[in-house]
Amino acid sequence: MDINRINTRLIPISFDYAEPRTLDEALQMLEGFGGRAVALAGGTDLLVKMKQRSAEPKVILNIKRIPSLSYIRDGTRSMRIGPTTRMGDIERSPAVARRFPVLAEAASVIGSVQVRNMATIGGNLCNASPAADGSLVLLALDSSVKLTGSEGSREMPLSSFFLGPGRTALGPRELLTEITVPHLPEGTGMAFSRVTRTDMDLAKVNVAVVLHVRSGGVTLARIALGAVAPTPMRAIKAEGQLAGSRLTRSLIEEAAATAAGEARPISDIRSSAEYRKEVTAVLVRRTLALAWKRAGGSD
């Protein structure tokens, strides 16, 4: 009998548990456990998987008690965010709202209030869901991540971090220790949109757009698509159509169609591949128009 059909509060597997209080201690534990440990940040994804037995870790390493991993620091050229920073903190941060309102906007629609006060930005990235709203927006913002192990740290663009559904470039003895989001110039507009079955469900399709406009022309265009490929993806061909051009209704239509053509969706419990293709074009069109307006572009 499936125990989770009776009481989903139970975790029907045995595991060891560790609770480091510093990053060095956590890295030593990771090394000592020989790569068998799984980091627990918010737990809103991991605990569900454990209850469903789709994840059966041997060791849980709770990193929530490490103070140095939770922060939002706005510097002169970039904003740095600690991996255990909660989605609720990002949603309510004045610095995030000022610099990257699209990130605050995406954080505000993730799950429920209770989920946002538990879920972390690092967990959202490391869970590597193709539909993750936070991952999608950070991809559009050209973010990078720092991965740290006992032998040192390495940095990589977020676009290289995702390898597939539930798979990342994070090594078994590494922790994600920082997200860096570069500042954007004045005249940049950002927008995010998604379609879901219910407000708290994962997206059927989600889209994030960043546009920089100067003298009525697009000097920078980024379009990120979610839930339409094995990982969150950039619509590179559509971006190329926009860069260096003055945005018009017909160009928006062309870019939206191109982005939909770049998407590689599948059919699953939430939606069909055909529907996702159609909705991708619709959302890209709407999100481009909104980002253009926020960048100060003319109607």
Residue ranges per structural domain of the chain: 13-62, 71-182, 189-294
Phi, psi (degrees; rounded to nearest 5) at 121? -65, -40
Angle formed by the axes of helices 249-262 and 273-294, nearest 10°: 140
The torsion region of residue 44 among left (phi > 0), alpha (psi -120 to 50) and beta comes to: alpha
The Cα–Cα gap between 261 and 237 comes to 9
DSSP letters, 104-165, are: HHHHTTSS-HHHHTT-BHHHHHHTT-TT-HHHHHHHHTT-EEEEEETTEEEEEEHHHHEEET
The torsion region of residue 249 among left (phi > 0), alpha (psi -120 to 50) and beta comes to: alpha
- 């998407």: which residue's tokens? 263
pLDDT in tens, the chain (299 residues): 354 555 556 677 788 899 999 999 999 999 998 878 999 998 888 888 888 888 888 899 999 999 999 999 999 999 999 999 999 999 999 999 999 999 999 999 998 899 999 999 999 999 999 999 999 999 999 999 999 998 899 999 999 999 999 999 999 999 999 999 999 999 999 999 999 988 778 899 999 999 999 888 899 999 999 999 999 999 999 999 999 988 899 999 999 999 999 999 999 988 999 999 999 999 999 999 999 999 987 66
Residues linked to residue 194 through DSSP beta bridges, in sequence order: 206
Question: Could you say which DSSP state residue 86 is in?
Answer: B
The Cα–Cα gap between 279 and 8 comes to 34
Residues linked to residue 74 through DSSP beta bridges, in sequence order: 79
Domain at 13-62: CATH architecture: 2-Layer Sandwich (3.30)
Q: Which residues are CB-contacts of 95 (< 8 A; sequence separation ≥ 6)?
A: 72, 74, 79
Same fold, 71-182 and 189-294: no
What class is the 189-294 domain?
alpha beta
Cβ atoms 126, 162 nearer than 8 A: no
Q: What is the pTM of this model?
A: 0.92
Q: Which CATH number fits domain 71-182: 3.30.70.260, 3.30.465.10, 1.10.1790.20, 1.10.3720.10?
A: 3.30.465.10
- Half-sphere exposure (Cβ direction) of 136: Cα atoms closer than 13 Å: 32
- Which pair of tokens denotes residue 258? 């191109």
